[in-house]
């Protein structure tokens, strides 16, 4: 019989029950969703990295590595496996502006791939193993032939199989690209024997060209060239080509650095997987997920639980006489407590069950091949993993909810049955400190009434405020993130990049060799060199921008006219040295150390870098090779050359941000929807509570002759005041949250916090809109106030 009562009572409080369940679903769902997301990233990528033998360390040498070098490295105690490794970006013939990163892993014990379909890897093969995602986007099948351009030479490859690789899980052409574009850039593996064959052919062609140019007949030239290119020459070319050794080892970075120096007799640039773009970004995503998973959901869960406390208390007081009747009938306290605790249990179980479903949905929305991460990660596994700590938290929440109902009812059960039968009396009105302010007495009665009502029902007041502030935080955070990102893209497009095409130059190309090309293209150039600042890895960015094709900007996004008597530190390196102080750095692969004066700080878009002008580099005596040219010429007007390793339109570069912006937009939509739901649910629930708590007063006003509209105004004006207060407090809270979001979600860029006027307007209007919409929903109810009924009871 009590079960029947339970269900019927639950039905009579259906709006409260439904809103509490919705809050629980949101709280558990968001909590679980974000936590599952990072756990799944960790779990799936780890499995994939292990399977494809992702390298723990990469050693780089500008002059490449010999077989002997590899032997020495392999002999280091603690190095489990090592391979000479090459990854080079090659354009595809016949496919406009499409390129592949072609990898060669000599031993195939490190940095390998997972075969998805086709032939197994065979180190004697002439064929190519191609990224399945690239193949799918470009409709390439196993057995098809691909023609790649290697320094002006065309090479045909038959596709042996389709693959995925940990090394290219985030498949980016270079450090300027933010998001993969599986359609225009992919990766592939060829065998070392094929590499040797290519190098040999290339060398013979080059020698032949030289000889024919000198006047030798072609057939003779070919013969002579073939003879000249002997085993030794090929080996030398190979050694130069393998500019990296990838290895797997549990040693720490300093240990390895020391051992490498000891074995090879020189300092090499050692990059651990934590600094390698794929692992770093993947773990970065997991960390972002953790941050998101620790703060945002806690906000939702906290609001859900607080709503539960206020609402259950309200229901328990409304049920007080019922509780008294049960007690008077002879039900034991324990039975009554159990009966009412079941409400919390019911809400907890239903809310958690649906919340788990929502959490799974949110996780899948992010972590699935067609989800948000699917545009970023190219990997075979998309599971859904839950961090272990989530289970006790969910169980704990359900128990907490039951406990809340238990305690709310327990408070009503105190004393005798007769006490319990008496209706609930709200706290007597006392004068608050506000009354002592002289201005207070001048307020009109509606304002006084509302202020005192809030003081009297502090928890309702606080909860409403929390709801509005939460709504505002989510809106400002979400929309502000979008503003900041689009501001960043604007900056990149309009203030920094004034070129049409970026021309990537083959590695180790001296400035003298590129000079004719620079003049021909009327280009600016840039050089990236890996450096160590007292052990800290960064990039030295040497810029020559006399032609105005690229700009360096300061913290306020103003262009810096680079001076030649020192260097500029990017914002992330600000703590390394003050302006006017000297900073020391040494390029990897050399023993030279340079000391330069810090002239200022600049906003670096991608890399963590020290920037200086080419002249400053010359003055310091830094030897460098050119990495990229920037020109106004369109890529089609730039002739292919041995010096050019690739060309990239600015438009293409900007387009690579599109999917990044799309991800951002999805996040913004999720946040805005969450904000609106949160706002409506919390405010409606509390609005109804406020209405119920004041229904007797409202009925009195109606009897006295106040029109419904005027009473409605009274209710709405309270909400408007609360909304205004919430917006005033929520705006700075939102900006603080945004700052935190920018750091948490985009620490790899030096973003300037930007908030458009539209964001302020939309956030404020939407928050007010939600609040006023809810007020009207509640105020409409006052037309139905039963004056007669409300007047019968005593307060």
Partner 1 sequence: MSIVSFDNVSKIYTSGDHELYALNKVSFNLEKGKFVVILGPSGAGKSTLLNLLGGLDSPSEGTITVSGKDISKLSDNSLADYRAATVGFVFQFYNLIPTLTVYENVKLVSEISKNALDAKEMINKVGLLDHLNNFPSELSGGEQQRISIARALCKNPEILLCDEPTGALDSETGVMVLKLLLDMAKNYDKTIVIVTHNQNIAKMADVVIRVKNGKIRSIENEEHPLSADEVEW
Q: Which of 294, 708, 717, 747 binds partner 1 (CB under 8 A)?
A: 708
Nearer to partner 1, 493 or 697 (CB): 697
Nearer to partner 1, 674 or 711 (CB): 711
Rounded least distance, CB 444 to partner 1, Å:
8
Nearer to partner 1, 514 or 701 (CB): 701
| Of 168, 130, 172, nearest in space to 54 by CA | 168
Applying CB under 8 A, which part among 12-20, 365-373, 489-497, 706-714 lies near partner 1? 706-714
Secondary structure tally for the chain: helices H, strands E: 22, 19
What is the C-alpha separation between 375 and 263, in angstroms, rounded? 42
Nearer to partner 1, 133 or 702 (CB): 702
DSSP-assigned beta bridge partners for residue 219: none
> Is residue 706 involved in binding partner 1 (CB under 8 A)?
yes
Nearer to partner 1, 523 or 716 (CB): 716
CB 578 within 8 A of CB 257: no
Nearer to partner 1, 669 or 787 (CB): 787
> Is residue 704 involved in binding partner 1 (CB under 8 A)?
yes
Applying CB under 8 A, which part among 275-283, 423-431, 538-546, 553-561 lies near partner 1? 423-431
Token pair listed for 445? 């009665």
> Is residue 439 involved in binding partner 1 (CB under 8 A)?
no
> Is residue 703 involved in binding partner 1 (CB under 8 A)?
yes
Applying CB under 8 A, which part among 339-347, 382-390, 637-645, 691-699 lies near partner 1? 691-699
DSSP 388-406: TTHHHHHHHHHHHHHHHHH
Residue 405: alpha-carbon gap to chain centroid: 39
SS3 for 319?
Answer: coil
CB atoms within 10 A of CB 363: 26
Contacts with partner 1, 441-480, as mask; x by CB under 8 A = ----x--xx--xx--x------------------------
CB atoms within 10 A of CB 477: 27
Token pair listed for 435? 């009354």
Nearer to partner 1, 52 or 718 (CB): 718
> Is residue 579 involved in binding partner 1 (CB under 8 A)?
no
Rounded least distance, CB 772 to partner 1, Å:
23
CB 658 within 8 A of CB 446: no
Rounded least distance, CB 455 to partner 1, Å:
8
SS3 for 646?
Answer: strand
CB 793 within 8 A of CB 705: no
> Is residue 432 involved in binding partner 1 (CB under 8 A)?
no
CB 676 within 8 A of CB 766: yes
Q: How much of the chain is helix, strand and coil, in % rounded to 5?
A: 55, 15, 25
Rounded least distance, CB 450 to partner 1, Å:
9
> Is residue 700 involved in binding partner 1 (CB under 8 A)?
yes
The helix (run of H) or strand (run of E) holding residue 128 is: strand 128-131
In the chain, the N- to C-terminal Cα span, in Å, equals 31
Q: Which of 2, 220, 429, 579 binds partner 1 (CB under 8 A)?
A: 429
Nearer to partner 1, 433 or 445 (CB): 445
Rounded least distance, CB 447 to partner 1, Å:
11
Please tell me the count of residues contacting partner 1 according to CB under 8 A.
32
CB atoms within 10 A of CB 254: 10
The answer for residues whose C-beta is within 8 angstroms of residue 154's C-beta and 6 or more apart is: 93, 147, 148
> Is residue 437 involved in binding partner 1 (CB under 8 A)?
no
Applying CB under 8 A, which part among 14-22, 52-60, 346-354, 695-703 lies near partner 1? 695-703
| Dihedral angle over CA of 749, 750, 752, 758, nearest 10 | 0
Rounded least distance, CB 456 to partner 1, Å:
6
CB 378 within 8 A of CB 35: no
**What does DSSP assign to residue 555?**
T
Q: Which of 697, 735, 756, 777 binds partner 1 (CB under 8 A)?
A: 697
DSSP-assigned beta bridge partners for residue 533: 536
What is the C-alpha separation between 579 and 385, in angstroms, rounded? 47
Q: Which residues within the stretch 736-795 sit at the binding site for partner 1 (CB under 8 A)?
A: 783, 787-788, 791-795
> Is residue 431 involved in binding partner 1 (CB under 8 A)?
yes
Nearer to partner 1, 3 or 428 (CB): 428
Nearer to partner 1, 400 or 421 (CB): 421
Note the residues at the interface with partner 1 (CB under 8 A).
426, 428-431, 445, 448-449, 452-453, 456, 696-697, 699-709, 783, 787-788, 791-795
């Amino acid at each position: 019989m009590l079960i029947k009562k339970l269900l019927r009572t639950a039905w009579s409080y259906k709006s409260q029950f439904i809103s509490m369940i919705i809050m629980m679903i949101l709280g558990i769902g968001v909590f679980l969703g974000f936590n599952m997301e990072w756990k799944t990233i960790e779990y799936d990528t780890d499995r994939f990295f292990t399977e494809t033998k992702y390298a723990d360390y990469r050693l780089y040498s500008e002059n490449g590595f010999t077989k002997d070098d590899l032997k020495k490295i392999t002999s280091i105690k603690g190095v489990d496996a090592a391979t000479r490794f090459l990854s080079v970006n090659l354009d595809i013939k016949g496919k406009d502006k499409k390129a592949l990163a072609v990898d060669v892993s000599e031993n195939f014990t490190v940095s390998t791939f997972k075969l998805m379909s086709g032939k197994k890897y065979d180190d004697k093969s002439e064929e190519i193993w191609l990224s399945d995602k690239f193949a799918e986007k470009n409709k390439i099948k196993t057995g098809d032939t691909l023609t790649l351009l290697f320094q002006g030479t065309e090479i045909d490859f038959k596709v042996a199989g389709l693959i995925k690789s940990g090394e290219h899980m985030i498949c980016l052409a270079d450090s300027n690209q933010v998001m993969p574009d599986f359609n225009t850039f992919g990766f592939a593996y060829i065998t070392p024997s094929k590499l040797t064959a290519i190098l040999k052919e290339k060398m013979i062609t080059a020698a032949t060209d030289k000889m024919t140019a000198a006047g030798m007949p072609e057939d003779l030239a070919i013969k002579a060239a073939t003879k000249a290119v002997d085993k030794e020459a090929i080996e030398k070319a190979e050694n130069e080509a393998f500019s990296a050794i990838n290895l797997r080892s549990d040693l720490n970075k300093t240990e390895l650095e020391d051992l490498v120096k000891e074995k090879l007799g020189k300092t090499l640039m050692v990059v651990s997987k934590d600094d390698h773009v794929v692992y770093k970004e993947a773990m970065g995503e997991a960390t972002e997920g953790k941050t998101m998973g620790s703060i945002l959901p806690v906000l939702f869960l906290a609001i859900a639980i607080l709503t539960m406390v206020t609402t259950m208390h309200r229901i328990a007081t409304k049920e007080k006489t019922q509780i008294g009747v049960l007690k008077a009938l002879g039900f034991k306290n324990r039975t009554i407590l159990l009966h009412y605790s079941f409400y919390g249990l019911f809400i907890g179980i239903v809310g958690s069950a649906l919340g788990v479903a929502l959490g799974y949905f949110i996780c899948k929305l992010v972590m699935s091949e067609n989800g948000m991460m699917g545009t970023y990660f190219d990997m075979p596994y998309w599971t859904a993993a839950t961090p272990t700590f989530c289970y006790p938290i969910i169980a704990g929440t359900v128990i907490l909810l039951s406990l809340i109902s238990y305690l709310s009812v327990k408070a009503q059960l105190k004393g005798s049955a007769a006490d319990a039968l008496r209706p609930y009396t709200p706290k007597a009105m006392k004068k608050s400190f506000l009354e002592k302010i002289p201005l207070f007495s001048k307020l009109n009665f509606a304002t006084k009434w509302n202020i005192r009502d809030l003081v009297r029902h502090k928890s309702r007041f606080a909860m409403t405020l929390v709801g509005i502030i939460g709504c505002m935080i989510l809106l400002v955070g979400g929309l502000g993130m979008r503003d900041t990102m689009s501001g960043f893209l604007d900056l990149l497009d309009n203030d920094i990049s004034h070129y049409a095409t970026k021309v990537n130059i083959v590695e180790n190309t001296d400035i003298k060799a590129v000079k004719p090309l620079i003049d021909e293209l009327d280009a600016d150039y840039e050089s990236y060199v890996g450096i160590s600042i007292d052990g800290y890895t960064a990039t030295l960015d040497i810029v020559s921008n006399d032609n105005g094709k690229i700009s360096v900007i300061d913290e306020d996004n103003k262009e810096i006219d680079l001076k030649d008597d020192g260097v500029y530190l990017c914002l992330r390196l600000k703590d390394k040295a003050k302006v006017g102080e000297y900073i020391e750095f040494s390029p990897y692969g050399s023993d030279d150390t340079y000391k330069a004066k810090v002239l200022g700080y600049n906003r670096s878009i991608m890399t963590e870098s020290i920037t200086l002008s080419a002249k400053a580099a010359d003055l310091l005596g830094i030897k460098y090779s050119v990495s990229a040219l920037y020109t106004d010429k369109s890529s089609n007007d730039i002739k292919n050359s041995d010096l050019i390793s690739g060309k990239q339109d600015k438009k293409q570069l900007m387009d690579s941000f599109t999917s990044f912006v799309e991800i951002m937009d999805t996040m913004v939509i999720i946040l805005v929807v969450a904000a609106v739901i949160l706002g409506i649910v919390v405010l409606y629930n509390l609005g109804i509570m406020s209405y119920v708590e004041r229904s007797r007063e409202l009925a009195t006003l109606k009897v006295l002759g106040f029109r419904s509209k005027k009473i409605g105004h009274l209710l709405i004006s309270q909400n408007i005041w609360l909304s205004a207060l919430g917006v005033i407090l929520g705006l700075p809270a939102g900006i603080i949250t945004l700052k935190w979001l920018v750091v948490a979600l985009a620490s790899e860029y030096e973003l300037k916090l930007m908030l458009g006027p539209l964001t302020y307007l939309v956030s404020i209007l939407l928050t007010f809109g939600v609040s006023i919409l809810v007020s009207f929903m509640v105020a409409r109810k006052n037309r139905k106030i039963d004056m007669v009924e409300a007047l019968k009871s005593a307060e």
